[in-house]
């Protein structure tokens, strides 16, 4: 089974937090939660985010804010909301740190993730840094609350665009007669090289241990990429920034995510979607 990022992150945290004798967890996926608790003697399942918070001095937030039993209501993943949540948390005598992550499931398993941290002061950043280092390699202070989300949105916008570009380039080259591995090697020793081409290539047969090698199962869902591209376009509208390619990519990922058979696939399945729909363009 291929886990999402939270599971291996939690495993790394419990394995490295040697001085902790209790680890409280909550997740909307009950089967994943049960498996984690059964495999970790120090882990204790909490039924709601609110119950989790009552047991915790330091709260690592994911779904924690959502729902009637959450700490706070109405939270999404954009910089403006992160700042609003920080103000609400401050009014309750709490510290809010936004620490979005990049590196994918492979980075989560290896403990090499990048955390982009926004907090009111660098002292608050230093407070959470030791915990983040248990799960990641690059822990970067981005400035005030919301800036972590700014960095994440910009990074994922570029990732979505580059994956779409890589998919189009690989699709074009293969259809014109190039052998996929040879084409990928040329791209990766030339100016077209990017993470999407050399580490996460979307064309089956080019790389092992990537979603393209297992029919695009696991990894980062195409619907999540569509959501992140939407956040980028929204942020661009609010800041009056021009994001022409992001707007097009947002439309494409939305189409991929709404196509039968693609809803639960990794976002690199855009390569297969382009290939399947070639005659429609």
Residue 32 maps to which CATH number? Answer: 3.40.50.720
Q: 192 and 85, same structural domain? A: no
Give yes or no: 264 in active site: no
**237 lies in some domain:** yes
Q: 106 and 195, same structural domain? A: no
Q: 208 and 141, same structural domain? A: no
Residue where one domain finishes, among candidates 145, 171, 206: 145
Most confident of 97-106, 126-135, 243-252, 271-280: 243-252
* CA triple 233-237-238, angle to 5 deg: 120
**208 lies in some domain:** yes
Q: 161 and 94, same structural domain? A: no
**132 lies in some domain:** yes
Q: 125 and 33, same structural domain? A: yes
What 175-180 contacts at long range (C-beta under 8 Å, 24+ apart), as own/partner pairs, is 175/278, 180/204, 180/205, 180/206
**257 lies in some domain:** yes
Q: 15 and 45, same structural domain? A: yes
Residue where one domain finishes, among candidates 145, 161, 186: 145
Most confident of 5-14, 24-33, 98-107: 98-107
Share of the chain above pLDDT 90, in %: 59
Share of the chain above pLDDT 70, in %: 82
pLDDT of 197-225, one tens digit each?
999 999 999 999 999 999 999 889 999 99
Across the chain, mean pLDDT equals 85
Please tell me which residue in 83, 152, 265, 272 is annotated as part of the active site: 152
Query: Where residue 153 falls among pLDDT bands split at 50, 70, 90?
Result: very high
* Structural domain of 24: 6-145
Q: Is 185 helix (H, G, I), strand (E, B) or coil?
A: helix
Q: 106 and 18, same structural domain? A: yes
Indicate if the pLDDT at residue 116 is higher than 90. yes
Q: 249 and 193, same structural domain? A: yes
Closest CA to 159 of 103, 107, 116: 103
Q: For residues 41 and 274, give the distance between their C-alpha atoms in angstroms, rounded to a whole number.
A: 46
Q: 133 and 162, same structural domain? A: no
- Overall average pLDDT of the 34-57 stretch: 68
Indicate if the pLDDT at residue 6 is higher than 90. no
Q: Which of 35-49, 88-102, 175-189, 192-206 has the lowest mean pLDDT?
A: 35-49
**199 lies in some domain:** yes
Q: For residues 40 and 222, give the distance between their C-alpha atoms in angstroms, rounded to a whole number.
A: 31
**217 lies in some domain:** yes
Q: For residues 20 and 22, give the distance between their C-alpha atoms in angstroms, rounded to a whole number.
A: 6
**1 lies in some domain:** no
Q: 180 and 115, same structural domain? A: no
At 40 the pLDDT is 77
Q: For residues 32 and 45, give the distance between their C-alpha atoms in angstroms, rounded to a whole number.
A: 11
Indicate if the pLDDT at residue 7 is higher than 90. no
Question: 28: which 2 tokens?
Answer: 């909307």
**134 lies in some domain:** yes
Indicate if the pLDDT at residue 281 is higher than 50. no
Number of domains the chain contains:
2
Q: 47 and 63, same structural domain? A: yes
Q: For residues 151 and 118, give the distance between their C-alpha atoms in angstroms, rounded to a whole number.
A: 9
In CATH, what number is assigned to the domain containing residue 215? Answer: 1.10.1040.10
At 19 the pLDDT is 62
Q: 197 and 124, same structural domain? A: no
- Overall average pLDDT of the 184-195 stretch: 98
Q: Is 3 helix (H, G, I), strand (E, B) or coil?
A: coil
């Amino acid at each position: 089974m291929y886990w999402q990022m939270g599971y291996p992150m939690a495993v790394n945290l419990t394995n490295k937090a040697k001085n902790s004798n209790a680890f409280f967890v909550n997740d909307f996926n009950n089967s994943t939660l049960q498996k984690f608790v059964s495999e970790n003697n120090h882990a204790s399942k909490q039924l709601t985010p609110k119950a989790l918070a009552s047991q915790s001095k330091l709260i690592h937030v994911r779904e924690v804010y959502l729902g009637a039993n959450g700490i706070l209501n109405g939270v999404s993943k954009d910089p403006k909301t992160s700042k609003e949540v920080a103000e609400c948390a401050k009014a309750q005598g709490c510290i809010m740190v936004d620490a979005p992550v990049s590196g994918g499931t492979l980075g989560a398993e290896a403990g090499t993730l990048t955390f982009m941290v926004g907090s009111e002061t660098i002292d608050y950043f230093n407070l959470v840094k030791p915990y983040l280092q248990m799960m990641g390699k690059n822990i970067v202070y981005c400035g005030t609350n919301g800036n972590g989300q700014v960095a994440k949105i910009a990074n994922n916008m570029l990732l979505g665009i580059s994956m779409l570009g890589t998919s189009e380039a690989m699709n074009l080259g293969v259809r014109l007669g190039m052998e996929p591995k040879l084409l990928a090697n040329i791209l990766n020793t030339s100016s077209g090289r990017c993470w999407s081409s050399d580490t996460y290539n979307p064309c089956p047969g080019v790389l092992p241990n990537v979603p393209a090698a297992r029919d695009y199962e696991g990894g980062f869902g195409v619907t999540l990429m569509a959501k992140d591209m939407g956040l980028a376009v929204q942020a661009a509208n609010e800041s009056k920034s021009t994001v022409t390619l992001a707007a097009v990519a947002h439309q494409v990922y939305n189409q991929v995510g709404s196509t039968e058979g693609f809803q639960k696939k990794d976002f690199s399945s855009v390569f297969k979607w382009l290939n399947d729909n070639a005659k429609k363009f």
